A and B are shown apart, each in its own frame.
Chain A
Amino acid sequence: MQFSMEPAQAQLARTIRELTACNRMSERYGLTLAQEQMRALVQRRTEALRNTGRVEFGEGILRSLIYTFCDSPDLRPEDYEVTLAELQDLFYWFKNETQDRLSDDELLHAMRVVFDRAHGALERLVDASPEMLCRIARGENAEENSEEDEEDDDE
């Protein structure tokens, strides 16, 4: 018997409910998602999981992403859905790149630190090395280490 690793329809409905609840919290920062945008993000999550070869149970990481990033001054309402989608893709990609050494909360924290330092430039976040994310998650001097990483890249 084959077991489907795809999220069930019930999970979709639950995620939409979760994201609707998130809107109530994020609207104080001027950030809300329409139902269509929520569906698009859930669809994007399925693709991100497939692309990274990961399996997820429950409602996914979107809710935690919103809680982690919604108070960032670099998150603009007009780019909210697109940025969340990119962050979601990067989150699963970094889970693999860090070989699951970081918990979800640790990885989200490290991503937020890099995002803030880059003033919301996602391309800088894309370039973050797994080692750097691990160091930030461990609470090491992120600024200093970031410069070292850049120097290493220059060499």
Chain B
Amino acid sequence: MNELAYSGQPLTPEEQLSFQIWMWGLLAHHTALYTMGDSTSVPQKTAEELLESLLYTLGAAESEPDRIRELLSDDPELAYNKGVRILEEKVEEGKALWEQVCLNLPDLKNQSLHDTLSSLRGLWRRYDFRYFAHQIPADIDYQLSCPVPESLQGIDYVNEYLRRLLAESRFLCRFAPDRAASVLRSSCPDYRGLLINLFEPVAVNAMGLVLTGRDPLTLAITDADREAIRAELGRPGPAMVTAARRLCEVLEVRDKEEQHCLVRLAASLPPRIQVAMECGDLSGIFLQPADN
């Protein structure tokens, strides 16, 4: 009854004070565990990190009033232990995602992708979900087409990154590696060595070909194709998003995350396309493969 009455309402000053006391006891206990009883005090930075980790583990990092009310009705240590169990499950999910990504990598070399996956391989040993659960002890350098929101922390960030990377990798695996490599060389001659995303140039070319009614698997865009694309883009409506959905049908993309990646990319393109249309040159967006 109370939950319904308070749903969505900001915390009252009394509730805020209660939660501070609730958290203070938990933080004191965890700080003592962290120092193993060797020290009664810690640097403020350490205390802040321990507090942030606890809030993240408890699912209260966003200070959501209803979540905090739920916590207040629970014993602090029990609530914390529930949070730890959830994190442990997420870590297992992350390990499985990492394996899936490694098994579904396209046959395209990229140093930052290789380094990122190597770093994530060691994450499971370094991830300290007892004291620093909100941190990400890995070097994630490879850029996704659609970055993971910075609001995500710890294992949630890593798993979302791996989910998106898996979707992008699965999409790239649909194309012949030499054709995809040709598009990438056209986009960036040193695509293997530089911090670039492999998915985006290939996906944009595939969408462009769908707009012209040609086979997207060829990835080969000619001047004539660009003229046809220009005509299609001149029509009213979200042409690129429609093209992304059509591409999913043509390539039989069933995976929701893969579909989302394509639609998100398509939705981000109009500003770039508009500038290119005004300049009368779409060759920087719909690329002619380097070998053509």
Contacts and interface: CB of A to CB of B under 8 A. Distances in A.
B44 A5 contact: yes
B148 interface: no
Contacts of A53: 43-45
Interface stretch (B32-40, B105-113, B128-136, B139-147): B32-40
Interface string B43-58: 1111100010000000
Nearest to B39: A104
Nearest to A1: B63
Contact of A103 (B21, B23, B38, B44): B38
B42 A61 contact: no
Interface stretch (A31-39, A92-100, A147-155): A92-100
A45 to B, nearest CB: 10
A104 B44 contact: no
B217 interface: no
A49 B41 contact: yes
A1 B39 contact: no
Contacts of B40: 56-58, 60-61, 104
B150 to A, nearest CB: 20
B43 A104 contact: no
Contacts of A103: 38-39
B264 to A, nearest CB: 32
Contacts of B43: 53-55, 96, 100
Contacts of B11: 1
Nearest to B24: A8
B28 interface: yes
Most buried by A among B24, B28, B32, B46: B24
A150 B40 CA distance: 31
Nearest to A59: B40
Interface in A86-130: 92, 95-96, 100, 103-105
A55 B63 contact: no
Contacts of A61: 40-41
B41 to A, nearest CB: 4
Nearest to B25: A57
A105 B42 CA distance: 15
B157 interface: no
A107 to B, nearest CB: 9
B247 to A, nearest CB: 45
Contacts of A58: 28, 40
Most buried by A among B23, B38, B39, B44: B39
Given A54-B43, A56-B41, A104-B40, A1 B19 contact: yes
A8 B32 CA distance: 17
Contacts of B283: none
A141 interface: no
Nearest to A107: B39
A104 B222 CA distance: 73
Contacts of B39: 95, 100, 103-104
Interface of B: 11, 16, 19-21, 23-24, 27-28, 31-32, 38-47, 51, 63, 68
